[in-house]
Structure 1
Amino acid sequence: MAVVGFANGISDRVSLAVAETDVAAALLSTFGISVIVWSAWAIGLVFLLRPPLQPASRLDGIIAAAALLAFLLPMAPLSWLAIAGLAMHILRTSPRSSFLQRGAWILLALTVPMLWSRLLFVMLSEAILQADAILVGWIVGTPRLGNAIQFADESGYLWIAPGCSSLANISLAFLCWATIAKALNRPSSLGDIGWVVLACTAVALINVTRISLMGLYRDHFDLLHGPIGATAASWLTLGATVTICLLGMRRDLPVPSYTGPPVTFSPALVGGVGLVLAVSLAFKLPGLMLLTSPMAPAPGFSGEAARLLEQHGFEVQQVSPGENLAGISGTAGACSVRINDVMPQGWQQSLVAGIAGDHHLVYLFNGKKYSEQPLLHTRADYYWSKLNRYAGRNVPTRPVMAVIFTPACDDLPLRELADLSGR
């Protein structure tokens, strides 16, 4: 079950990594999944397989059936939820300090970076991104707009995207500590908290330093932000995390652990696991094909908005996405307008407000006009669209547009633009 669940849980990330590059490059980058995650899964699996097979109880069968159902559903994150449930069941029913219990602890810790930290980010994304931005802004020494920091040369803003957040690395530090602790069968103590905090602080500092270098040296942005910078930061993070965890562990010797003969599997069992794995991944294939394609808003808005502005006498041109904000701009006499496509999760609100300055700002979504981004509606639409894509249904997300215009724009066709956003 651990093999089937892990394969289904990482299926979306593996598919995305292959779609963005190619199989060879994705393999070299471990499919965008940390080496810590792969190592933890391998160690946990070995521990789970060490004890001899025991007769399954009725409750074991019910738990396994529920997990299997979650694996068969097309939503990959459900597999991690099922793995967490399996791990907690094993923890409740296995002997203390046994290989089975230690493997279950590692399996449960594995769900922290793969599921729980991502859910935490969804709920607290604004605060998490701004925490990174505060540290980066302090190092670079330039003004900050929410989670955007002005480049040192004042040529624009460095926007901290969700993928650049320190939270992911912090969750990996926790997983690394849990894996090494259970691999050595080391009992927990209050002193562990200090070492875990130290490891989390180290990986956060590495991430913040990398982002700060991007802000200080914009000419080298592509190098620092690209594969070379990402790979260097990844290896530094791995080295710092493992080193700190090992230093924290070495003062204690492992306690005696449960031993037993290695387990053997019948060909029928191996074949059954292979069949379940193939079927569960096949059910996810239609959704994975949609998820790896660009999740663009409903097509045609930018073009239709440009034509509408031109019909009202505006001279329209494309906006250079130097601040990760694509869109169009238009001028008609003293009136200037800028229309940007923004993320439905609301991660660019502060940046948009800073760009707007003293000008007027409205948001357009689903045929309506708002003075602020309607986060509840835009996020619900985004995640509903993503859920449908997991299920193999191509439901495009509705565009969320930020319209910035000068006070002289008395005849700006906001009503017509809002109607376009609802098509």
Structure 2
Amino acid sequence: MAGVNALASNLLASFARGWATTLLDLGGVNPALWFALFAIGSIAAEPDEAGDARPAMTARDWLVFAAVLGAAFTPIPLAGAVGVFLGGLWMLLRGTKGSRARRIGVIALALTSMLIWGRALLVLAGGPVLSLDAAFVAWLAGTTAQGNLVYFAGEAQPFVIGFGCSSMDNMTLAVLFWAALTQLLRIPLDRHSVLLCMTAMGANLFVNVLRLAVIAHKQQYYDYWHSGPGGMLFAWAGLAVVAVIVGVGCARLADRRA
């Protein structure tokens, strides 16, 4: 419930555009977020196993539950995001290794990478991060950059890389999808799993940098590649690349574990 509250702004904006649009753009919510919520529900519904029965609620559990429930019903998306973080952190600390509580906690904390921490990093260290992003785009496009400005190829006019289109912000998608699938498949968080996450993050970063490099060479089609159908194609391409890398990687890690 706290997670849905955190996504309330996206959902309401999507509903305002009509039911057809809401269905087509999945309520204005990234598919990785829906998959993470699905993974949490699936893990919570798993049958009891030896050593993983639901423990009795303690007074501290009820206190955390009340705080998360309060955050879920506070009509502020940030409150919902904080509730997800609090609940996820508590389950991670409270659960034993491999338990449902700890696995759900990992996914919930990964959710906050997209809901809170990715954006917070850009706000607190946005200048250096966006400048690095712009330099990477300019290098790939063969143009020049100044701060968070990237110059169009053969032109003296630049375009701005803002928080919303930063490649760094999009990497949280890879973290979330990785966390959801690894925990759904009971894959432990070891160095192999972390390396898989970093590979998916790098691939997602490259797809977005490639989109911005295309923009640098297609000034006349800026709107198309930035927020139009072209931008949507790159968004789905980034998600597909992450899904393939994480899916294949998880299959290999599951085989190694067996």
In the superposition, the TM-score normalised over structure 1's length comes to 0.56
Partner of 1:262: none
CA–CA distance in structure 2, aligned partners of residues 58 and 192 of structure 1: 35
Which amino acid in structure 1 is aligned with residue 45 of structure 2? L
Which amino acid in structure 1 is aligned with residue 22 of structure 2? A
Contact 1:133 1:146 in 2 (8 A): yes
Which amino acid in structure 2 is aligned with residue 233 of structure 1? F
Q: Does 1:129 align with 2:130?
A: yes
What is the DSSP-based 3-state SS (H/G/I as helix, E as strand, rest coil) of the residue aligned with 1:158?
A: strand
In terms of fraction of residues, the more strand-rich structure is 1
Which amino acid in structure 2 is aligned with residue 146 of structure 1? G
Partner of 2:81: 80
- Note the C-alpha offset of 1:228: 0.9
Which amino acid in structure 2 is aligned with residue 198 of structure 1? T
In structure 2, do the counterparts of structure 1 residues 26 and 230 end up closer, same or farther at CA, with 3 Å as the change threshold? farther
CA–CA distance in structure 1, aligned partners of residues 177 and 4 of structure 2: 20
CA–CA distance in structure 2, aligned partners of residues 252 and 156 of structure 1: 48
CA–CA distance in structure 1, aligned partners of residues 61 and 144 of structure 2: 57
Partner of 2:8: 11
Partner of 1:233: 234
CA–CA distance in structure 2, aligned partners of residues 110 and 157 of structure 1: 34
Contact 1:134 1:144 in 2 (8 A): yes
Q: How well do the aligned residues superpose, as a CA RMSD in angstroms?
A: 2.2
In structure 2, do the counterparts of structure 1 residues 201 and 99 end up closer, same or farther at CA, with 3 Å as the change threshold? same
What is the DSSP-based 3-state SS (H/G/I as helix, E as strand, rest coil) of the residue aligned with 1:56?
A: coil
CA–CA distance in structure 1, aligned partners of residues 236 and 219 of structure 2: 23
Partner of 1:64: 65
Contact 1:46 1:103 in 2 (8 A): no
- Note the C-alpha offset of 1:230: 2.2
- Note the C-alpha offset of 1:236: 0.9
CA–CA distance in structure 2, aligned partners of residues 140 and 108 of structure 1: 35
Partner of 2:37: 41
CA–CA distance in structure 2, aligned partners of residues 54 and 199 of structure 1: 35
Listed one character per residue, the Cα deviations across residues 296-320 of structure 1 (whole Å, up to 9, x for unaligned) are xxxxxxxxxxxxxxxxxxxxxxxxx
Q: Does 1:29 align with 2:25?
A: yes
Which amino acid in structure 1 is aligned with residue 37 of structure 2? W
What is the DSSP-based 3-state SS (H/G/I as helix, E as strand, rest coil) of the residue aligned with 2:186?
A: coil
CA–CA distance in structure 2, aligned partners of residues 95 and 146 of structure 1: 46
- Note the C-alpha offset of 1:113: 0.9
CA–CA distance in structure 1, aligned partners of residues 103 and 227 of structure 2: 38
Partner of 1:372: none
- Note the C-alpha offset of 1:194: 2.7
Partner of 2:51: none
CA–CA distance in structure 2, aligned partners of residues 6 and 218 of structure 1: 38
State the structure with more CA Rg: 1
- Note the C-alpha offset of 1:9: 0.9
- Note the C-alpha offset of 1:186: 1.2
Unaligned runs of 5+ in 1: 257-423
What is the DSSP-based 3-state SS (H/G/I as helix, E as strand, rest coil) of the residue aligned with 2:57?
A: coil
Contact 2:163 2:169 in 1 (8 A): no
Which amino acid in structure 2 is aligned with residue 140 of structure 1? A
Listed one character per residue, the Cα deviations across residues 18-67 of structure 1 (whole Å, up to 9, x for unaligned) are 45x44422331123321111101111122123356654221111111122
In structure 2, do the counterparts of structure 1 residues 120 and 161 end up closer, same or farther at CA, with 3 Å as the change threshold? same
Partner of 1:393: none
CA–CA distance in structure 1, aligned partners of residues 214 and 241 of structure 2: 19
Contact 2:151 2:157 in 1 (8 A): yes
What is the DSSP-based 3-state SS (H/G/I as helix, E as strand, rest coil) of the residue aligned with 1:240?
A: helix
Q: Quote the sequence identity (%).
A: 26
Listed one character per residue, the Cα deviations across residues 275-310 of structure 1 (whole Å, up to 9, x for unaligned) are xxxxxxxxxxxxxxxxxxxxxxxxxxxxxxxxxxxx
Contact 2:81 2:116 in 1 (8 A): yes
What is the DSSP-based 3-state SS (H/G/I as helix, E as strand, rest coil) of the residue aligned with 2:143?
A: coil
Matching of residues 275-286 of structure 1 within 5 Å = none
In terms of fraction of residues, the more helix-rich structure is 2
Contact 1:151 1:216 in 2 (8 A): yes
- Note the C-alpha offset of 1:247: 2.6
